[in-house]
Chains A and B, each alone.
Chain A
Amino acid sequence: MADVATGNPLVPMPARIVKIVEETPDTKTFYISTDQGKPFTPKPGQCVMLSLLDVGEGMFSVTSQGPDHLEIAIRKVGVLTTALHEAEVGQVVGIRGPYGNGFPVEEMKGKDMLFIAGGIGLAPVRSVINYCIEHREDYGHLWIIYGARTPTDLCFKEDLFNNWPKVENCRVDVTVDRADEKWTGPVGFVPPFVEQLKPSPENRIAIVCGPPIMIKLVLETLAKLGYNDEQIITTLEMRMKCGIGKCGRCNLGSKYICLDGPVFTFAQLKLLPSEY
């Protein structure tokens, strides 16, 4: 690994984009691999610093991994992500990590799991959904509630409509804010959709990821349904540079999101300043 060879944790290792999947008009999943195979093995929910050397570096969650690659879903929002969207298979990138705490998969054992995501927020959640599926016997019922603006904006359609519904004791509910002529499923925002579905808080952990406003409203909904703050887990986003708790950039109170996060229970978040 780069930091062993060079001693400098800020220096990435070279890797390549080996496959690109177009998820939605503005989101692509990049498969990243090095000549030696998988760069490293992140825990579900951990992040990596991915760079186009001559453009910039950015922190992204790892959405899934195979035996010899990492999958990183990236929405086009700024300079780096636009350049990445223009890149082709074979492009050399820099990668360093994995960073952050990841989801508490040990503490979650034996629980029923509720995954609530909106838009690209499904990317980090997918890593833990797949983990629970791989370790199926360790977890109870899996319930995935997902929403996007329109049917074309739904990420990971293959998983949503094909793979996950086939998993034993697993339920998938998908909604869109606005339907198109082909859509026959539910229409509406995620928070009221959750309220309608009424997932009971009994022995359940809820993982919530998505746009800040969705998270806020979903938290209110879950509280109404009787969830307590320890049962709800979310991930935070902040601008990042070093990824290792040194550059000061991503602090939320005395915590660094890059190192101590990005995963927090709602109970932990309540103890931190509301500056996110």
Chain B
Amino acid sequence: MYKLATEKLPELLQCWSQGATVYVPQKVGEVTLFRPFKGQGDLALGEGNTLEPPKDLFFPRTEKLYDYWASGKEARLEPVELHPDRAVLVGVRSCDARSFLLLDQVFLTRGYVDEFYKKRRENTAVVALACTQAAPTCFCTSFGIDPGRAEGVDVQMWPVPGGYLLEALTPRGEEMLKQASGLLAPAEGEKIPAPAQPSLQVELEGLVEKLQKMFDHPYWGELSRKCLGCAICTYLCPTCHCFDIDCETIETSGYRFRCWDTCLFAHYTLMAGGRNPRPTRKERLRNRLLHKLQYFVERYGQFACVGCGRCLELCPVNVDITKVIRDVKEVSL
């Protein structure tokens, strides 16, 4: 365990910037976002969750797959060769760290490996920052997440008076601390601070079993009446992973790309010929919630919600997944 003095933080980020791009929460106007560290900037390491989750580091909102040329009967394509720069993601919260493990399940297992995701993921070191203060919308502990210690990260940091404690959890993390050894002091007698204790809690016992019986329940119709279908909840959700594949052609050349998509949009399941198995917001919002709380559990054995609270906070009409969980437990079948 090592200690870094608060004023040495920029130097630490500078040090890790050698041969890599460091992404760290920074103030951008009114909000906090992960942005590349450029030597200065308004670091916002201690101020709760970023507005957007950092998933776009591994799964960019748009990503080119290949270029093509097509003219008459002839056509050819040139795949994009991805060689992502090394990256260090600093200040990730335990909830978002769990989301990476869930995205790994989607992109790296079940028969096919998503090469672009894999390369970006492998090239990125993750440094977590423990939470000592929960926002009113945080409920990560309900999913067995420890705000004080993230899973699957290279380095864990804790905020302490006058600085940060750092502990390496992987060989890559050890390498990073060695690289920064000039800035770090052994942490003698320092105590790891108590983790945040979110007051918001949900009870998950029996939830999946109840939802399995509720597909046709009128609850979804009632719930979706206020939903605008804006999809803010999916774009800001660290575990939402749906994407579209489309192309852009200008005269005889173009490229095919993928981009984030959401099951809340009407065209998502609209088939050629006009049939749509999820014709209204009821079916679409139900799909999003069941995907988080039932389908993902059935498929991968874990909930696809990490309790980050972003959708609770930012849904313009207050569709609140914690309330949904409470409601579901109460509705009669």
Chain B residues, CB < 8 A from A253: 290, 294-295, 298
Interface residues in A10-42 (C-beta closer than 8 Å to B): 10-12, 14
A247 to B269, CA, bound (A): 12
Kindly state whether residue B225 has any CB partner on chain A within 8 Å. no
Could you say which residues of chain A place their CB within 8 Å of the CB of B241?
246, 248
Residues of A in contact with B, size category:
35 or more
A91 at the interface (CB under 8 A from B): yes
A273 at interface by CB-CB < 8 Å:
yes
Residues of A within 8 A of B216 (CB): 274
A274–B65 alpha-carbon span in the complex (Å)? 34
Pairwise interchain contact A275-B283, C-beta atoms closer than 8 A: yes
Asked if residues B243 and A241 are in contact (CB atoms below 8 Å), the reply is yes
The answer to whether A54 and B68 touch across the interface, beta carbons within 8 angstroms, is: yes
Q: Is the CB of B68 within 8 A of A246?
A: no
Residues of A within 8 A of B254 (CB): 53-54
Contact for B110 among A245, A273, A276, CB less than 8 A:
A245
A-B contact count (CB 8 A): 138
Residues of B within 8 A of A78 (CB): 272-273
- Say yes or no: is A71 at the interface (Cβ < 8 Å to chain B): no
B277→A275 contact, CB < 8 A: yes
Q: With A238-B271, A247-B261, A249-B242 as known contacts, state yes or no: A14 contacts B76, CB within 8 Å.
A: yes
- Residue B186, interface by CB 8 Å: no
Q: Is the CB of A88 within 8 A of B269?
A: no
Given A54-B254, A91-B73, verify A247-B244 contact (CB < 8 Å).
yes
Chain B, residues 63-94, CB within 8 Å of chain A (1/0): the string is: 00110101001111101110000000000000
Q: A162 within 8 Å of B by Cβ? A: no
Residue pair A92, B277 in contact (C-beta under 8 Å): no
B278-A275 in contact (CB<8A): yes
A58 in contact (CB, < 8 A): yes
Given A53-B70, A54-B252, A246-B112, 15 more contacts at CB 8 Å?
Answer: A8-B80, A9-B112, A54-B75, A54-B249, A77-B273, A92-B76, A94-B75, A212-B275, A237-B271, A238-B271, A245-B112, A247-B261, A259-B110, A275-B283, A276-B277
Chain B residues packing against A (C-beta within 8 Å): 65-66, 68, 70, 73-77, 79-81, 106-107, 110-116, 215-216, 241-247, 249, 252, 254, 256, 258, 261, 263, 268-273, 275, 277-278, 283, 287, 290-291, 294-296, 298-299
Residues of chain A having any CB pair with chain B under 8 Å: 2, 5-12, 14, 52-58, 77-81, 87-88, 90-94, 212, 237-239, 241-242, 244-249, 251, 253-255, 259, 273-276
A-B contact pairs, 20 of them (CB 8 A): A5-B79, A53-B70, A53-B75, A54-B249, A54-B252, A58-B272, A91-B73, A94-B75, A212-B275, A238-B277, A241-B244, A241-B258, A244-B112, A247-B243, A248-B291, A253-B290, A253-B295, A254-B294, A254-B299, A276-B277
- Top 5 A-B pairs, shortest CB-CB distance: A78-B272, A248-B242, A254-B298, A254-B295, A92-B75
